[in-house]
Amino acid sequence: MTTYILVPGACHGGWCFDRLTAELRDAGHRVVPLTLTGLSERRHLLHAGVNLETHIEDLVYVLEAKRVENAVLVGHSYGGMVITGAADRVPWRVDALVYLDAFVPENGESCWSLTDERQREWYLTVGEIGYAVPPLPFFDSRASAHPLASLLQTIRLEGDLSRFRRRDYVYAKIWDGGSPFEPTYCTLRDDPHWNVHELDSRHDLMRDAPRELLRILLATG
């Protein structure tokens, strides 16, 4: 049995993994879909101080509270920042990392520094409260505003990802106007220490390529 911890991207909650969670559990695995502070059913906790550090702590505390060992951390989009930070804090609880069309930061980087100008423009469309980025029109109706500070804050890392048994990157090939993750994909596809997968899918891999994604995740366990 493998323990999968599923971390959603910006504006989403653990519900975005509902189908994947059910299928992994049907295959006999332990699955914990995570909703980060200030998002979805935890949106009542949103305030100006919620940042990347908050979300990394969310994941670290779940790993510790549930006494998870040898976890496969799965991060979609922004969730790549979170799983990287948590794996760096408690590497003894982590076995493998899976990035679903996601950021793979190095020390001192942020979503802001890693993304493209179109995404930066979205980050700055904060609503009237001034510290939350509204969901994009094509997001699920359950999506909620995302704390701006988490997209701007730089990550603090003490080690690198080479300590983990396996690292997978799943790249979504279909983006209108180009993918902000293309530079990451181009770097990792030639790295023999990474397993890189390209799917004919839009960014929401869980919705648009569920069968292929399940196959990839089962292979990481």
Phi, psi of 197 (to 5 degrees): -120, 135
Q: Report the distance separating Cα 103 and Cα 184, nearest Å.
A: 7
Phi, psi of 105 (to 5 degrees): -80, 155
Tokens of 213: 């994604």
Of 40, 77, 150, 201, the catalytic one is 77
Q: Are 203 and 78 in contact (CB under 8 A)?
A: no
Q: What size, in residues, is the chain?
A: 221
* H or E element at residue 3: strand 3-7
Residue 193's CB: how many other CB atoms inside 10 A? 10
Torsion 19-24-27-32 (CA) sign? negative
Q: Report the distance separating Cα 116 and Cα 119, nearest Å.
A: 6
40 is catalytic: no
Q: Report the distance separating Cα 145 and Cα 36, nearest Å.
A: 12
Q: Are 205 and 19 in contact (CB under 8 A)?
A: no
Active site residues: 77
